[in-house]
Amino acid sequence: MVNALQRIDNKVRLLRQTLLPTEVHYDDLDDYRDIIAAIKCLDVRGAPAIGIAAAYGLALAAQRNNVAGIDDLPPFADEIRNARPTAVNLSWAVDRVTTRLRQEKPQGHQAIVALLWNEAETIHAEDRHLCRAMGEHGAALIPDKARVLTHCNTGALATGGIGTAFGVIYTAHQQGKQILVYADETRPLLQGARLTAWELMQAGIPCRLICDSTAAMLMRQGGVDLAIVGADRITTQGDVANKIGTYSVAVACHHHDIPFYVAAPYSTFDESLVNGDEIPIEERHADEITRGFGRLTAPEGVEVYAPAFDITPAELVSAYITDQGIRPGKRHRS
């Protein structure tokens, strides 16, 4: 599988996902500000991958700015933490790295930089393990010959391993199950069309690309057996923030009595928030809707509402697929 990002010496090699699927291009970054820019413009995206990138970004910040004391790091940590607001993995990774720094108390620039690189690589390696565990647990929910609907991108491009929701699909495929995946295109930036369809084809998994607005009709026609998505943040009561359009999928699944599963590692569960109303929802620039990929597709000057994420209430989730196992959702049927 492709690597979305990796450490190369004292740089971070990052796949520019905005160029996919027509071009596979890597940049070697040595400035934390380039990591922040990549997160903001979606060259790196997906909650786990953003967390990994944040950890690597802190190492680059300390390395480039000659950080010699623990108290020198918070301004850089805050800048990285604020790159995007919704995916909790970003702040989780920053907090984990800075906590480790204060616990270990390394002395001097070289010791601080070494610890930061080490912790970033540990987070990266851990995510590979988490993805594999989610895949093994979740594959049990996918029967042979299942027709699976997914939304947005949740594979290796969005994580440090085989993926969250995609990892479950990939594992089921590796087990020999004959499955067909319907990939929502995922407006407005087409992560499903540009990224998920590309990853499915790279993995040899049968797939069909559909418009977001086709999903409900496909369910009505009996063409979907289950839906599985990832998450950017999950509250203690089980509300899920994920790519805009996820809520619509969940509502349609509920209406048609189709299981709706959410796959996410422990780092995506935010114990500080109770319900979805507390999750900050990022709004993107209007151009992503009116000038998608550089071409004007709406009247000049039209007002736009462009949330990047929506909230799916816990009542619509059949189960959560985690690295620890399957957690029944409020829609669970025994």
- For residues 295 and 194, what is the distance between their CA atoms, to the nearest angstrom? 17
pTM score, whole prediction: 0.96
Per-residue pLDDT tens over the stretch 47-100: 999 999 999 999 999 999 988 888 899 999 999 999 999 999 999 999 999 999
Spans of the chain, pLDDT less than 50: none
**Would you state the pLDDT for residue 55?**
97
SS3 104: helix
Domains of the chain: 5-132 (1.20.120.420), 137-328 (3.40.50.10470)
Give me the residues paired with residue 243 across strands. 309
Do 291 and 297 touch, CB atoms closer than 8 A?
yes
DSSP class of residue 85 equals S
**Would you state the pLDDT for residue 169?**
98
Which tokens is 52 given?
């990994």
Nearest Cα neighbor of 263 from 76, 175, 136 is 136
SS3 206: coil
**Would you state the pLDDT for residue 70?**
83
- Which secondary structure element, helix H or strand E, spans residue 27, and what is its range? strand 26-29
**Would you state the pLDDT for residue 1?**
79
Q: How many CB atoms lie within 10 A of CB 142?
A: 22
**Would you state the pLDDT for residue 69?**
86
Give me the residues paired with residue 322 across strands. 325
72 to 53, 65, 66: CA distances (angstroms): 20, 9, 9
Give me the residues paired with residue 14 across strands. 5, 27
Q: Which residues lie below 8 Å from residue 110, measured CB to CB, with a gap of 6+?
A: none
194 to 153, 176, 190: CA distances (angstroms): 9, 26, 6
Output the CA torsion 32→34→36→37 (10° steps): 170
296 to 41, 219, 272, 299: CA distances (angstroms): 19, 32, 41, 8
Residue 122 burial class via C-beta count within 10 angstroms: exposed 0-12, middle 13-18, buried 19 and up: middle
Is 232 a residue of the active site? yes
**Would you state the pLDDT for residue 192?**
98
- Cβ density class 66-90: b for 16+ within 10 Å, e for less: ebeeeeebeebbebbbebbbbbbbb
Annotated catalytic residue within 184, 232, 270, 310: 232
CA 317 to mean position of chain CA atoms: 18
**Would you state the pLDDT for residue 333?**
60
SS3 241: strand
- For residues 52 and 4, what is the distance between their CA atoms, to the nearest angstrom? 10
